[in-house]
Structure 1
Amino acid sequence: MAVHLPVSNPSPGLCSKPHQQRGNASTTSTAAVAAVAATPQTTRLSAPSIAVNVRHATPAAPVVMPERKKNDQSLASMWREIQGAGDWAGLVAPLHPLLRAEIVRYGELVAATYKAFDLDASSKRYLNCKYGKARMLEAVGMASAGYVVTRYIYAAPDVAFPGGAGPCPSRWIGYVAVASDDIARRLGRRDIIVSFRGTVTGSEWVANMMSSLEPARFDPADPRPDVKVESGFLSVYTSDDATCRFTRGSCRNQLLSEVTRLIMKYKHEEISITLAGHSMGSSLALLLGYDLAELGLNRDGKGNTVPITVYSFAGPRVGNTGFKNRCDELGVKVLRVVNVNDPITKLPGIFLNENSRVLGGRLELPWSCACYTHVGVELALDFFKARDPACVHDLEAYLGLLKCPKVAKVKKDGDDLMSKAKKFLLQQNFDTWRLQMAVIQVGELVQALGM
């Protein structure tokens, strides 16, 4: 019988120009990296039946949190815990209302990237953002989000289509924003967020299928050849395209420059770095989190380490066991929100993954170097809508289920939780953008399943 949790309610066109150049990691300055030993546990929470199964991989290192008064449950007072300082112990099972509200909030900031992305081939802004930075959040209905967009991020994967056809270069991939003064007071710190969309363009689809592992080598002073990541995601992150003014600098260089600039600007305040993305975007978020920590760039002017938290929605595996272990050592906190019926979250590494057993009951070298492994704590939902197969990977479906108040209130006496969740989702407003995203995500699923 499922355990029911008391969760409260919070609120592709083609073109030429096929050649891009790989970004040079050596151009990025390095700094000393403080390793924070914390190995996150994996927690599975199934919804809408909300069944819980907690699996501990390795005991997490103890985390000393500042004292707070009894019953003090404000976000400002416990933001470090909500951001994963204690690997979300006691917050995922049962799901804490503040954590759920934050997951939904960051998910909506990711959804903004889809709503603002211009897919009209006749538009002069095609494959870019429809709006200027100053009004983007307002234009997509998030004027009250309380963040100021400081930079748009562009990417151009170094891939080519079979038969020699040129790829359709990716353009606008997401944005960097910082919390306004009012929101910073409510959050208890100055939050820097980077939000990434998922796969849309043809070149991104091709990149997603490049499932070979490749050393990340982000720190030229210590390349760490055992730390490997999926070559397609790495291409999106590190490649540039000199033929376009938006991508003359790689996605990576744009991000490292802007995030470090904001850290220095607000160095006299408490700061958090939050990286959020959906599907491929969650992979870019994790690569950025690892990159910042590996280079030691998440330091403020006082020498303090700025916490890095990744909110991953429907994310695939990104790297091997060495990558996962290094992220843990560096203290990069990752909360993976997944639908157990979503095939994207099981890729790559269908056969060699964290559950593989080869020698002596555990995976050993050299197999571990070739083994894809998820990073962080998993919060697993369980939903499927037969009339809309794309639902299993749809960000709005993820967020709709998390926001659904009825899911948490259903008793164990035979109520059909699934039909209630479906009814809630079907009552949402499916505008042109929603239908457009469904078509795109069906394409993703078809590719993932090799159909």
Structure 2
Amino acid sequence: MEKSLLNVKNTSCMNLVGIPVDLTKIIPTQKTYSFRPNFTKKIYSSTASTVAITSLSSSLSPVRVSTMSPSLALNWRDVQGLNNWENLIQPLNPLLQREIIRYGKFVTACYDAFDLNPDSSHYLTCKYAKNRMFLEVGWADCGYEVTKYVYATPDINIPIQNGGSCARWVGYIAVSSDDEVKRIGRRDILVIFRGTVTYPEWIANLMSSLSPARLDPNDPKPDIMVETGFLSLYTSSETSVRFGLGSCREQLISEISCLLRRYKHEEISITLAGHSMGSSLALLLAYDIAEQGLKQASVPLTVFSFAGPRVGNVRFKDRCEELGVKVLRIVNANDPITKLPGVIFNETFSGWTCVACYAHVGIELVLDCLKSDEDETHEIDKIVKKGVNVMDFFKIDDILCVHDMQTYIQMIKNCPRRSKIRQKRVDFIKNLKEMNMKISVVWRYVAITFVVYHGCVTFVNMMGLTYP
């Protein structure tokens, strides 16, 4: 028997009962399709929190994508601070949020790889070889390759390590792989610094006097001044030790110059990130690169500063801005380290504009982990104080918690949704306690001593600079 041919419409239930169909006689449904996705009015971040906005930030390029977030490859210059992160901070743009977390993980990897075991042959250096570091810390797919380890020598004679060398591993230089270049849109030269760990580093942090940077070989610029301890870590070397390392500055400038020459025909960015003391070294390096003119004007130079203290005076801040150094400061509002040095005499102290006043550099992203019930629409600038109450400086119950890098990452993940961050100690803090570094016990004493000392030294410096 001859099978009949049916004219049917193209429906979802077509041909489910075994009826033979002549496909040439199917009547198609009249419907037009568009390849452009329908963007909703909410952008979802990787932490399931939402940012209520009406459209993508105007500074981001209009990108046709199939996901709910814009493409990093086309918008990376905005994320790197091309427009000083305008319209990306409040509310925090999800693309910028993910990049801050990513750079924060690179800093965390630096801590994870740092050897704090006094009995280890790698004590105060990295525990792993360069080609295995990311694999050993559990981040083999980060998309970057380490090219150099960086060491710093505190210019302080304290016998805390056996052997002739006093250099400590403070970070590394990495460059994005070819596959990562396709994802992020450029070849990224990345420099990462860890924070303060050893006693000489803490002492270097407690130095509050200002010294001329003098990093420009053609013009010393004596009015551009930076904190003495940070400058010492950046420029001191082991010239008196056989086979001693060069200064942190020499190591960094040499490697970055080589990488810039190697990838000069590609689109490049230079990204520096650090935590605490590491953010100070990152800012000094950024200023140094820009002042010496090591890069082309088209190469963005960006610093992601986590829990960073003040580094230099007002002239230093102004010069960094003139040179086009972009700095995003991620700050826990309850972290006292971010208010140092310059607790009293700083950029917010009206009436003092002399070169002895400290000043923060860059755009500030303020996090507040202790405000859990506030309205999310409350403006951040109403939370941040224009001055510092010195007595509040001593009310921090656990300096290790509010200043810890893991706390910062968790706070960023919870932005812009405010939630209380429980005080959790990470393994790194436990390692410090195993080394009998009783930082939390002596913190109040150190803080009081530091504030009194800093106030006296700053006042003397100001009088000396004002009335030579």
Relative to the length of structure 1, the TM-score reads 0.75
Whether 1:298 and 2:285 are equivalent positions in the alignment is: no
Q: Deviations over 1:18-41 (max 9, x none)?
A: xxxxxxxxxxxxxxxxxxxxxxxx
Give the distance between the partners of 2:157 and 2:441, measured in 1 at CA: 18
What residue is the counterpart of 1:450 in the other structure? 449
Contact kept in structure 2, 1:205 and 1:444, CA below 8 Å? no
TM-aligned CA deviation for residue 83 of structure 1: 0.2
Give the distance between the partners of 1:104 and 1:90, measured in 2 at CA: 19
Whether 1:195 and 2:192 are equivalent positions in the alignment is: yes
Q: Deviations over 1:262-295 (max 9, x none)?
A: 0110111100000000000000000000000000
What residue is the counterpart of 2:175 in the other structure? 178
Pick aligned residue for 2:85 from 85, 88, 113: 88
Whether 1:435 and 2:430 are equivalent positions in the alignment is: yes
Give the distance between the partners of 1:264 and 1:444, measured in 2 at CA: 48
Unaligned regions of 5+ residues in structure 2, if any?
Answer: 1-41, 52-57, 372-395, 451-468
Give the distance between the partners of 2:127 and 2:173, measured in 1 at CA: 16
What residue is the counterpart of 2:259 in the other structure? 262
Alpha carbons of 1:213 and 1:148: their partners in 2 closer, same or farther (altered >3 Å)? same
Whether 1:381 and 2:367 are equivalent positions in the alignment is: yes
Whether 1:209 and 2:209 are equivalent positions in the alignment is: no
SS at match of 1:370: coil
Give the distance between the partners of 1:66 and 1:219, measured in 2 at CA: 35
Contact kept in structure 2, 1:170 and 1:203, CA below 8 Å? no
Alpha carbons of 1:115 and 1:243: their partners in 2 closer, same or farther (altered >3 Å)? farther
Whether 1:400 and 2:410 are equivalent positions in the alignment is: yes
Alpha carbons of 1:230 and 1:389: their partners in 2 closer, same or farther (altered >3 Å)? closer
Give the distance between the partners of 2:164 and 2:363, measured in 1 at CA: 35
Letter in 1 for 2:408: Y
Letter in 2 for 1:107: G
TM-aligned CA deviation for residue 436 of structure 1: 2.5
Q: Deviations over 1:197-254 (max 9, x none)?
A: 0111111111111111111011121111111000100000000013557752100000
TM-aligned CA deviation for residue 450 of structure 1: 3.0
Pick aligned residue for 1:10 from 37, 46, 50: 46
Give the distance between the partners of 1:135 and 1:245, measured in 2 at CA: 29
TM-aligned CA deviation for residue 346 of structure 1: 0.2
SS at match of 1:77: helix
TM-aligned CA deviation for residue 8 of structure 1: 3.7
What residue is the counterpart of 1:16 in the other structure? none
What residue is the counterpart of 2:330 in the other structure? 337
Give the distance between the partners of 2:155 and 2:280, measured in 1 at CA: 17
Relative to the length of structure 2, the TM-score reads 0.73
SS at match of 1:129: coil
> With CA pairs under 8 Å and 6+ residues apart, which has the higher RCO, 1 or 2?
1
Give the distance between the partners of 2:317 and 2:202, measured in 1 at CA: 24
* Percent of aligned positions that are identical: 53
SS at match of 1:143: coil
Give the distance between the partners of 2:195 and 2:426, measured in 1 at CA: 19
Letter in 2 for 1:325: D
What residue is the counterpart of 2:131 in the other structure? 134
Pick aligned residue for 2:166 from 161, 165, 169: 169
Give the distance between the partners of 1:314 and 1:444, measured in 2 at CA: 20
Give the distance between the partners of 2:294 and 2:264, measured in 1 at CA: 12
Give the distance between the partners of 2:132 and 2:364, measured in 1 at CA: 34
Pick aligned residue for 2:217 from 220, 223, 227: 220
Q: 1:97-116 maps to which residues of 2 (within 5 A)?
A: 97-116=94-113
Q: Deviations over 1:315-356 (max 9, x none)?
A: 000000000000000000000001111110000001110101
Larger Rg: 2
Give the distance between the partners of 1:208 and 1:109, measured in 2 at CA: 23
Give the distance between the partners of 1:263 and 1:233, measured in 2 at CA: 26
Q: Give the aligned CA root-mean-square deviation in angstroms.
A: 3.0
Give the distance between the partners of 1:212 and 1:286, measured in 2 at CA: 18
Whether 1:310 and 2:303 are equivalent positions in the alignment is: yes
Letter in 2 for 1:9: S
SS at match of 2:412: helix
Whether 1:324 and 2:317 are equivalent positions in the alignment is: yes
Equivalenced residue count is: 368
Q: Deviations over 1:412-437 (max 9, x none)?
A: xxxxx32xx32xx75xxx66335235
Alpha carbons of 1:133 and 1:297: their partners in 2 closer, same or farther (altered >3 Å)? same
Contact kept in structure 2, 1:344 and 1:445, CA below 8 Å? no
Letter in 1 for 2:304: Y
Give the distance between the partners of 1:311 and 1:296, measured in 2 at CA: 21
Contact kept in structure 1, 2:291 and 2:323, CA below 8 Å? yes
Contact kept in structure 2, 1:176 and 1:194, CA below 8 Å? yes
Letter in 1 for 2:73: A
TM-aligned CA deviation for residue 108 of structure 1: 0.6
Give the distance between the partners of 1:443 and 1:333, measured in 2 at CA: 37
Contact kept in structure 1, 2:335 and 2:399, CA below 8 Å? no
Give the distance between the partners of 1:273 and 1:244, measured in 2 at CA: 32
Q: 1:17-96 maps to which residues of 2 (within 5 A)?
A: 68-69=62-63, 73-96=70-93
Alpha carbons of 1:389 and 1:201: their partners in 2 closer, same or farther (altered >3 Å)? closer
Pick aligned residue for 2:119 from 122, 126, 135: 122
Contact kept in structure 2, 1:339 and 1:382, CA below 8 Å? yes
Unaligned regions of 5+ residues in structure 1, if any?
Answer: 1-5, 12-47, 51-63, 411-416
Contact kept in structure 2, 1:155 and 1:247, CA below 8 Å? no
Give the distance between the partners of 1:155 and 1:409, measured in 2 at CA: 38
Pick aligned residue for 1:370 from 332, 340, 356: 356
Contact kept in structure 2, 1:154 and 1:247, CA below 8 Å? no
